[in-house]
Amino acid sequence: MSLNDEQKAEIEALRAQSAPTRRATVPALEEMLYTARPVLDHGFVRVIDYMGDDAAVVQAARVSYGRGTRKVSEDAGLIRYLLRHRHTTPFEMCEIKYHVKLPIFVARQWIRHRTANVNEYSARYSILDREFYLPAPEHLAAQSASNRQGRGMVLEGQEAMEVLDLLRDDAMRAYDHYAWMLNEGGEGEVVDPGRRGLARELARMNLTLNTYTQWYWKTDLHNLLHFLSLRADAHAQYEIRAYAEVMLESVAAWVPATYAAFVDYRLGAVTFSAAMLAVVTRMLAGEAVEQKGSGLSKREWDEMMGALGRG
């Protein structure tokens, strides 16, 4: 992760500020505010602001006038009930805003979650940094033979070195051309006074997808949990999962009762179809059920048996 001295000073200045408030605050999340938590090689996630807490979810569900007087265990029980039965609107009462630095290809995957407010660093107005994501050796893998959107065996030795060299060289060469076309003189760049630079909005199209961008991403708790249920899953692409795992830490600090229920009912849970449940019922009754007579496809059968630990 790369932060310059100016950015570090800005973060420290923000963290030094405090103000009295009547709204709900969460000490554990307050401690995290503005701090950049590293992700990948140059990325980070920062919590910039938030609204609400576990009590706000409970308050919305009960439509009460103030913060509840019931026991914490009762509030936690209600939150678990809401999440278990997919009563989502109370979770929409809480919001959080993140500042994220991430590779462009991860951002394009992330933006598929269309239920957030997003403002991205504009390469029409500003010059992007010379920073690129290069996978660590353990994440440099071949295409999976069984999953079109997954990875297979990790590349090793000379093959891995050649791939990393290509990724690095292509990114550096593309950025060098980007800087030359701009002719504005970045770090270590020389301006040619006799040449007009290309417009930034055009020069940017030459950059590689592993170039880092940044954005502010604000969402409510319900949609954040949906994002995390997909992107913190073991099947998610590693790079976006790395961001999701750091964001999970902020959720655990912010709304611990909601986080605990989320881990139980989303991250650590599986969903069975009606047909799968019928097969499990037959198995529990002592019947020896095989895939051919189950009414399930081979893929459904394998998924069900894997979830049951019998794959």
Cα–Cα distance for residue pair 116/102, rounded to 1 Å: 17
In terms of Cβ atoms closer than 10 Å to its own Cβ (0-12, 13-18, 19+), residue 285 is exposed
Residue 108 annotated to the active site: no
Handedness of CA 284, 290, 293, 295 (dihedral sign): positive
Tracing tokens 């081979």 back to the chain, one arrives at: 298
From the list 195, 231, 266, 282, the catalytic residue is 231
In terms of Cβ atoms closer than 10 Å to its own Cβ (0-12, 13-18, 19+), residue 47 is buried
> Taking the mean position of all CA atoms in its chain, how far away is CA 273?
27
Tokens of 212: 């880092």
Q: 8 vs 13, 121, 142, CA distance in Å?
A: 9, 19, 38
Q: 117 vs 149, 241, 279, CA distance in Å?
A: 27, 20, 43
Which of 55, 66, 88, 62 shows the shortest CA–CA distance to 257? 55
Among all residues, which ones are annotated catalytic? 231
